[in-house]
Amino acid sequence: MTASVEIRAASPTSVKTLVSPGGIEAWHVESDVVPLIAVAFTFEGGSAHDPEDRPGVAQMLARLLDEGAGQYNSDAFQERLAGRAIELSFNAGNDAIGGSLKTLVKHADEAFELMRLALAEPRFDQDAIERVRAQTIAGLRYQQNDPGVMATRRFFEEGFAGHPYGRPTSGTPESVAMITRDDLVAMHRTMITRGRIKIAVVGAISADRLSGLLDKVFGSLPEAQPLPFIEPTSLKQIGSRFVVDLDVPQSVIRFGTQGIAWREPDFIPAYVLNHILGGGAFTSRLFQEVREKRGLAYSVGTSLVSYRSAAMTWGYTATKNERVAECLDVISQEISRLTTDGPSDEELQKAKDYLIGSYALGFDTSTKIAHTMVQIAFEGLGIDYIGRRNALVGAVTQADISKAAERLFGDGRMLTVIAGRPTGL
Amino acid sequence: MMDTASKPFLRTDAASFGRTEGGGPNVSSFTLDNGLDVVVIPDHRVPVVTHMIWYRNGSADDPIGQSGIAHFLEHLMFKGTEKHPAGEFSKVVSALGGQENAFTSFDYTAYFQRVAREHLRTMMEFEADRMTKLLLEEAVVGPERDVVLEERRMRVETDPSSQLSEAMAAALFVHHPYGIPIIGWMHEIETLSRENALDYYRRFYTPENAILVVAGDVTPDEVLRLAKDTYGRIEPRGERPVRFRPRDPDPVAARHITVSDPKVEQPTLQRLYLVPSCRTAKERDCYALELLAEVIGGGPTSYLYRKLVLERGIAVNAGAWYMSSSMDETRFCVYAVPSEGVTLQALEEAVDEVLKTVPEALDSDSIERAKTRLVAETIYSTDSQSALARIYGSALAIGETIEDVHRWPGEIEAVVKDDLASAAERYLVLRRSVTGYLQKSAS
């Protein structure tokens, strides 16, 4: 199957589905302009599957995959990567363990072999475990009193209380101290399998050669066992406000409410609505009202978050303690104004123009293309999504926006978390 | 937005520049009649262009007592001209599906948009207009100053590790303005006025002082034609403004700085050395320093990591970086994060013991590995038109040439073990250094 990355009129990048002889599926863009290959992949299942009393296992697993594998201990493995400038990294989020590989074409065989070893034969040597544990704990302590980190952690604790999403994905110094080698081995066995993987490859490599490499790397993984079920949930404590006391002159604010998942048909109108309210451009309403007109903050914005088992809309800003109340007022007024009156026709049209026009900007490097494709695959949107997406945005009407606003913001209440020492609340 | 120094948990690569062995970008350059330099970097993979304008002035050119003015003006540049009122440029960029931003560094200020190729001319028209026709209404200056103050609160006032970085730079550069933060000191930002901004603007925002960089789906001819039609209409000023940069005296004092804050739960150690940059280095010292940083501190196979983390277990992380791309003498940083129960004093002693052994410990395998990585980064950078635009723009803005950029991989390849040993012996010495402790205070 073939689809076009429809980016304005010209030069469509061709994305093809490739199925290797061993049955491994990947999305592939062949391009030989730059002599490199970029790979992105995700395995379903992540921090939400951490043992209940030990958050942080999935992230620690991701950090240990390249710390020794096969016949190589950690140092030898890193030396093989560095010696050929191969960039291999892994990460874990709530719902997935992912990774990426970047290599010069001339080192592709070695790069794919090291990726295979990391995925299929990680050693979990005790000294590597202890080192990564110490690094993780030091990293957690380093951020322990960072107002942004504290606000986010409290937001998830309150918003998803009692649900795996409410736990810190990187764990706590205490939980990381408890993680055992058995925890890591067990999670590796459950997650890193050939059944629930999405793969995207961009670069100077033919389908034939890639097929062989995919079989070698991913074909050697075990068949998937069922994943423990994560209960669907939604954001709680909407309407509540929490303050995390911290002696800093500026308060970090997180606010959130219901969302719509990327996989749902109503997502695109919500996405357009979010762009108007607090999307990335200097033209968003919150940017204009909070920053441009009042100088309340350097950064302010909102985004839609899609997890496997929950969706939310959330926003961020930071303002000096004395202006927190004013800032919160401005934000809720804007949300209420947008929900009640909707955007003007011109505002809606300009938002759609931006989202349609700027889509191509996300496809200008091999790494970005691979990353975007693997996300689309993970969400189950289909290889034709890249070609369809701009038409979906173009079709959004005022009625769609109004429906999305009702679903997202309803009566305007939000879960708000403030880290700092706000006055006058 | 600002380019700032790094934190000990993040390894910042000194940008690696260059053309690739696999046939890198085919860069063209020319100069308009009014003195504006133009660089074109074709990349025809997607119908997108990156349009950047660079000014050869940064925070190190702030007048005394007006720290932060370069950065404040960068913010104010979005506030409209006679022709285009505040916000119009941003609205147009956005409606065309483009993205935009700007950043201020020590030596330069740059503005960019990324748009579909057919909108390049529009970007040039707007950018050329605001090069000389900025109109600052008093009413927009106050709120924007508040925005910058919030930016400083966000980046520095709430973060003890940023406070340490500022204090260390202030101690390292005893006379040169690299010791002043890009964003400016809080008490001076508070006093920056519309007049300060306009004075600075009139002095530096001229065609002779600017560099236009266009990367993407364009040809040099097309860029030349569009640039003549837009930027070419700006009156020249006759000559490029002079940047006065004092030189630091040769350092004699090893300095120690401590930031103690109750919020610090994880202590860290940093060491800065005053070293030549690629602009000031005699002979080829800067290439040696570049490679030295990679060999001793570039990731988990580096000498510092192996000695301090893997062998001695005294640190959980360790590394080094070198800010080569500077007009004047610059910083080389070594950092380490102590293992639990290890004091910063004990860690510092260990770091010094390890650094002392660098000259004789250098082996050809690790030197080759470091070269491979640095040269590969230049190939990886050709995958990103924005990265390329930044590489060439920043090089020209500090006075390097396109040839310097293209020579870089070859120069790195040519460094030999003795160069590294001698760079380490000459520059990584305590009298050239500031050592910084980030630690928890009692209350």
Judgement on whether residues B348 and B406 belong to the same structural domain of the protein: yes
Report the residue of chain B nearest A366, measured CA to CA. Answer: B383
Chain A nearest C-alpha distance from B147 (Å): 5
Which of B172, B202, B233 lies at the terminal end of a domain, its last residue?
B233
Report the residue of chain B nearest A85, measured CA to CA. Answer: B373
Contact B45 A280 (CB under 8 A): no
Which residues of B carry out catalysis?
74
In a domain, B317, yes or no: yes
pLDDT tens profile A396-423: 999 999 999 999 998 899 999 999 999 9
- Whether A161 shows a pLDDT value over 80: the answer reads yes
Judgement on whether residues B299 and B213 belong to the same structural domain of the protein: no
Judgement on whether residues B225 and B274 belong to the same structural domain of the protein: no
- Whether A146 shows a pLDDT value over 50: the answer reads yes
Q: Could you say which DSSP state residue A316 is in? A: E
Chain A environment of B265 (Cβ under 8 Å): 141-142, 144-145
In a domain, B240, yes or no: no
Write out the residue range of the structural domain in which residue B433 sits: 255-440
Query: Which token pair is B243?
Result: 């940047």
Q: Are A284 and A275 in contact (CB under 8 A)?
A: yes
* Interval A241-249 mean pLDDT: 97
Chain B environment of A292 (Cβ under 8 Å): 87, 143
3-state secondary structure of B190: coil
Contact B316 A247 (CB under 8 A): no
Query: Which token pair is A88?
Result: 């291999």
Q: Exposed, middle or buried by CB within 10 Å (0-12, 13-18, 19+), for B352?
A: middle
Judgement on whether residues B195 and B275 belong to the same structural domain of the protein: no
Judgement on whether residues B189 and B267 belong to the same structural domain of the protein: no
Residue A299: per-residue pLDDT: 96
Report the residue of chain A nearest B151, measured CA to CA. Answer: A298
Contact A135 B317 (CB under 8 A): yes
In a domain, B297, yes or no: yes
In a domain, B406, yes or no: yes
Q: Are A136 and A171 in contact (CB under 8 A)?
A: yes
Size of interface A-B (CB pairs under 8 A): 200
ipTM for the whole predicted complex goes beyond 0.85: yes
Judgement on whether residues B58 and B134 belong to the same structural domain of the protein: yes
Torsion angle, alpha carbons of A272, A276, A279, A284, to 10: 160
* Interval A124-152 mean pLDDT: 97
Chain B nearest C-alpha distance from A400 (Å): 21
Q: Are B272 and B321 in contact (CB under 8 A)?
A: no
Contact B94 A282 (CB under 8 A): yes
How far is residue B135's CA from residue B114's CA, in Å, rounded to a whole number? 25
Chain A environment of B117 (Cβ under 8 Å): 8
Residue A3: per-residue pLDDT: 39
Q: Are A168 and A55 in contact (CB under 8 A)?
A: yes
Query: Which token pair is B373?
Result: 């990585």
Among B45, B48, B95, select the one facing A33 at the smallest CB separation: B45
Write the CB contacts of B9 (distance below 8 Å, at least 6 apart in sequence). A139, A142, B317, B337
Among A82, A85, A360, select the one facing B48 at the smallest CB separation: A360
Torsion angle, alpha carbons of A114, A115, A120, A121, to 10: 30
Report the residue of chain A nearest B387, measured CA to CA. Answer: A365
How far is residue A318's CA from residue A299's CA, in Å, rounded to a whole number? 7
3-state secondary structure of A87: strand
Chain A environment of B116 (Cβ under 8 Å): 7-8, 357, 360
Contact A35 B20 (CB under 8 A): yes
Chain B environment of A356 (Cβ under 8 Å): 97
CB half-sphere exposure, B367, CA atoms < 13 A: 20
Report the residue of chain A nearest B366, measured CA to CA. Answer: A83
Chain B environment of A147 (Cβ under 8 Å): 158
Among B149, B263, B372, select the one facing A85 at the smallest CB separation: B372
What residues form DSSP beta bridges with A302? A315
Judgement on whether residues B144 and B197 belong to the same structural domain of the protein: yes
Judgement on whether residues B391 and B305 belong to the same structural domain of the protein: yes
Residue B24: per-residue pLDDT: 56
DSSP secondary structure, B121-146, as one string: HHHHHHHHHHHH-B---HHHHHHHHH
Mutant choice from B6, B21, B43, B46 vs A, greatest count of A C-beta within 10 A: B46
Q: Exposed, middle or buried by CB within 10 Å (0-12, 13-18, 19+), for A178?
A: middle
Among A11, A34, A350, select the one facing B47 at the smallest CB separation: A11
Other C-beta atoms within 10 Å of B349: how many? 12
Judgement on whether residues B179 and B263 belong to the same structural domain of the protein: no
Contact A364 B144 (CB under 8 A): no
DSSP secondary structure, A5-30, as one string: E--SSS-PEEEEEEE-TTS-EEEEEE
Judgement on whether residues B199 and B305 belong to the same structural domain of the protein: no
Among B87, B115, B265, select the one facing A141 at the smallest CB separation: B265
Domains and CATH numbers, chain A: 2-218 (3.30.830.10), 241-420 (3.30.830.10)
3-state secondary structure of B297: helix
Chain B nearest C-alpha distance from A150 (Å): 12
Contact A318 B46 (CB under 8 A): no
How far is residue A119's CA from residue B194's CA, in Å, rounded to a whole number? 58
How far is residue B391's CA from residue B325's CA, in Å, rounded to a whole number? 10
Give the dihedral sign, CA A312/A313/A316/A321: negative
Q: Exposed, middle or buried by CB within 10 Å (0-12, 13-18, 19+), for A143?
A: middle
Chain A nearest C-alpha distance from B347 (Å): 15
Contact A292 B143 (CB under 8 A): yes
How far is residue A384's CA from residue A367's CA, in Å, rounded to a whole number? 20
Contact A8 B20 (CB under 8 A): no
Domain tally for chain B? 2
Residue B4: per-residue pLDDT: 40
CB half-sphere exposure, B438, CA atoms < 13 A: 28
Chain A environment of B99 (Cβ under 8 Å): 280-281, 358, 361
Q: Is the pTM of this model over 0.90?
A: yes
Residue A2: per-residue pLDDT: 38
Which of B233, B267, B301 lies at the terminal end of a domain, its last residue?
B233
Residue A13: per-residue pLDDT: 58
Write the CB contacts of A397 (distance below 8 Å, at least 6 apart in sequence). none
Among B48, B149, B310, select the one facing A364 at the smallest CB separation: B48
Computed over every residue of chain A, the mean pLDDT equals 94
In a domain, B246, yes or no: no
Judgement on whether residues B325 and B182 belong to the same structural domain of the protein: no
| CA–CA–CA angle B382, B51, A40 (5° rounding) | 40
Q: Could you say which DSSP state residue B47 is in? A: S
Judgement on whether residues B193 and B63 belong to the same structural domain of the protein: yes
Percent of chain A with pLDDT over 70: 97
Among A7, A295, A359, select the one facing B144 at the smallest CB separation: A295
Q: Are B79 and B144 in contact (CB under 8 A)?
A: yes
Chain A environment of B159 (Cβ under 8 Å): 146
What residues form DSSP beta bridges with A101? A39, A88
Q: What is the CATH number of the domain that holds B217?
A: 3.30.830.10
Please give the average pLDDT of every successive group of 10 residues along chain B, which has 443 residues: 39 32 72 98 93 98 98 97 94 95 97 97 98 94 97 97 98 98 98 97 98 97 98 96 95 98 97 97 92 97 98 98 97 98 98 97 96 94 94 97 94 97 97 98 79
When pLDDT is cut at 50, 70 and 90, the band that residue A181 belongs to is very high
Write the CB contacts of A81 (distance below 8 Å, at least 6 apart in sequence). A66, A87, A88, A114
- Whether A98 shows a pLDDT value over 90: the answer reads yes
Residue B6: per-residue pLDDT: 33
